[in-house]
A and B are shown apart, each in its own frame.
Chain A
Amino acid sequence: MTRPSPFSVRGRRALMVMRDEREISIVRRQLNRLGMTISEHDPAEAPPDEPVDVIVMDADTIPIKSDLATLWKVGAPIIALIGTETPSRLKWLLDLQPASFLIKPLRSAGLYTALVVAFDSAQRKIDEAAYIERLEDRIRSRRVVFAAVLQVMRGHDLSEADAFTLIRQTAMRHRTTIEQLSAEIIAVGGMPNRTTRTA
């Protein structure tokens, strides 16, 4: 699957959670110019269910000590519009993990950069999550690999290092993962006959 470039924003869906009419008109105009789909949402209401690609949120409009304050951890990248720089406000904002931010008052310049940074950082987050999941899978299968190494050490009278090298090279030759091959070694009680599966 090809990843969407963070620079191409046309057609992506933006949710505006803002109150100030002047600021709203600036953001709306820029998002329209960029060809994005826009929906607007009252900051006093709970987050909507509709899926969006980015949320443009006026951070000053949501009371930090309210039920609403935590509901915005919805997953879509957030561009925070910041007026108040007090640490109490910024702490609330950090909890939402904004993907990027703009300082109010807004100008026409800046929003595109904020969107690109937001989309890029959201994509990196997805990539990192997938990478971490792969690593966690490998950690989980360490027990299986270890058991397979022991099996090969005993069956072929090899040292631990040589047994692991054999498994690794066999896995490479058969175009499978070490973890997958290890599972098969345990299942058949020795190095499987993989001739049928070589490419």
Chain B
Amino acid sequence: MELLVALIIGVLTACGVYLVLRRRSFPVVLGLTMLSYGVNLFLFAMGRLTIGRPAVIQADAAGYADPLPQALVLTAIVISFAMTAFVIVLALKARSELDTDHVDGRGES
């Protein structure tokens, strides 16, 4: 499972970096989203990967999943959600204002 999660994080980040380097604003927005997915997953994995363990410690539980990264990831997801929404609105406005979706605000060149 560790390998799979590591691979997913790697692929997400690689896609994100590639897309952020593109010329048009829509791939850049997608790239930022992918990057934040990768980071969130990474943050989550930092609490160690466990299966079927409760997040809250009880006296009779055999072990527990670390609840803190889960809380952190929830916060990070909310933040990246807000950021993505904002970037989409910004990119749309920029496109209608500049008549191009080039990130430099200029046409093809």
Q: Are these two chains actual partners, yes or no? A: no
